[in-house]
Amino acid sequence: MTKIDRYILTLFARTNLICFLSLAGVFVVFHAFNNLDELARRGQQSGSMVFAMFVFYGPYLLMLFDWTATIIALMSLLFTVGWLRRSGELTALLAAGIQHGRVLRPMLVFCALVIGVQWFNREQILPNYREQLTGKPSELRTGRVRPMLPAYDKAHGILIEGDGIDAKEDRVLQASFRLYVSYPGFGDVISGDSARWIDATADRTSGYIVSAVRRPEAIDSIASAQLAESPILITRRDAAWLEPGECFVATTLDLEVLRDNPRSTRLAGMGELIRRLRNGSVHSSDALHVLLHERLIRPPLDFCLVLLGLPLVVNRGDRRLFSVIAQAVGLTLLFFGLKTLAGGMGSSGYLLSPAMAAWVPLLVLGPIAFVRYCDVQVQ
């Protein structure tokens, strides 16, 4: 890396950071006005308002980075080259025989690094803060019950219902398990005050422990039931680890499947999405298949957006910065418009399969981006 590379890279990274901090500052100011009481309460509890705001807004800024990092990188590319052109430094470099492609190389490498960090943040960090990012601050503090959707376990013939989800204790309130398969002694429903989710262990599958069972009556005297030689409904009669009045219902439908919040699903990592799609007990919509494929191709597609903006960077005609930025905004809108259109067609099953709907933007824009990159190399 030469001295001029370090100079351009420093200028580009500084512009990137300033753009993100400016956008983050606007977000924090507007969001804080709607949550002043909650922030004040957190500040009193922690003893430091600055620390309380850092803890509260840290996950939000990570989500903002995931949403805007690629667009900010493209805009920073335009700002940096515009500054080099305005100061005459770009003219001097071109006069020395250096091509645009060589000047842009360190910035493109930095863009690829940003997209990599964005991917790591999306897959490894954001899923840990889904509860905070998808709920209101007051709900997190008071432990308000979250809404849920009924879910049907196709493998075991069980419909899971309830009044809501207590996320703090990982349980369904007023849980009801409707049985569409004949389990001797259990009738057609198991209902109780709550159902607590437990993960699978070496000697027990995953499922829910239903507490204070009301139906069927005298649950402790009923023998456990199996389906295809696998224990599905387990009672205290055959399992000493259960408390009186409890029943264990084996299922792979965890609380995330029951949660009535599409934003929570979109914040899940690829590993969880794959496990859900492979889960034969739960219905997987076309939208979920589209989401998984979009996650898979998003890094190369984001880099395509940067490459598509290169002709604007090396434009020798219109050199007005704000005119170039307006063109970049239009390009970005067309980019996301194509993604949204293809994703909507795949989710609804219209003309495109879910996999093809996610890949269409890359198949259309990838060759165009490559041609534009090659054109820049010879200018």
pLDDT class of 304 with cuts at 50, 70, 90 = very high
pLDDT class of 374 with cuts at 50, 70, 90 = confident
Pick from 112-121, 222-231, 251-260, 287-296: least confident = 251-260
pTM: 0.81
Q: Could you give the percent of the chain with pLDDT greater than 90?
A: 35
Pair 237, 219: CB distance under 8 Å:
no
Whether residue 139 has pLDDT greater than 60: no
Whether residue 120 has pLDDT greater than 90: yes
Whether residue 319 has pLDDT greater than 70: no
Mean pLDDT, rounded, of the chain? 86
Which whole number is the average pLDDT over 283-303?
89
pLDDT digits (tens, 9 = 90+) for 143-171: 567 888 888 998 889 999 998 888 777 88
Whether residue 200 has pLDDT greater than 90: no
Whether residue 124 has pLDDT greater than 60: yes
pLDDT digits (tens, 9 = 90+) for 172-189: 999 999 999 888 889 899
Whether residue 94 has pLDDT greater than 90: no
- Residue 210: what pLDDT? 93
- Residue 144: what pLDDT? 66
- Residue 303: what pLDDT? 93
Which whole number is the average pLDDT over 341-349?
88
- Nearest alpha-carbon partner for 32 in 68, 60, 67, 64: 60
How would you classify the pairing of strands 176-179 and 158-161? antiparallel
Q: At what angle do helices 49-86 and 100-120 cross, to 10 degrees?
A: 160
As a three-state string, the secondary structure of the chain is CCHHHHHHHHHHHHHHHHHHHHHHHHHHHHHHHCCHHHHHHHHHHHCCHHHHHHHHHHHHHHHHHHHHHHHHHHHHHHHHHHHHHHCCHHHHHHHCCCCHHHHHHHHHHHHHHHHHHHHHHHHHHHHHHHHHHHCCHHHHHHCCCECECCEEECCCCEEEECCEEECCCCEEECCEEEECCCCCCCCCEEECCEEEEECCECCECCEEEEECCCECCCHHHCCCEEECCEEEEEECCCCCCCCCCCEEEECCCCHHHHECCHHHHHCCCHHHHHHHHHCCCCCCCHHHHHHHHHHHHHHHHHHHHHHHCHHHHCCCCCCCHHHHHHHHHHHHHHHHHHHHHHHHHHHHCCCCCHHHHHHHHHHHHHHHHHHHHHHHHCC
pLDDT class of 63 with cuts at 50, 70, 90 = very high
Whether residue 315 has pLDDT greater than 70: no
- Residue 376: what pLDDT? 78
Whether residue 142 has pLDDT greater than 70: no
- Residue 379: what pLDDT? 64
Which whole number is the average pLDDT over 310-330?
74
- Residue 267: what pLDDT? 85
Whether residue 123 has pLDDT greater than 60: yes
pLDDT digits (tens, 9 = 90+) for 252-278: 888 888 886 677 788 888 888 888 888
Half-sphere exposure of 47 (CA within 13 A, CB side): 0
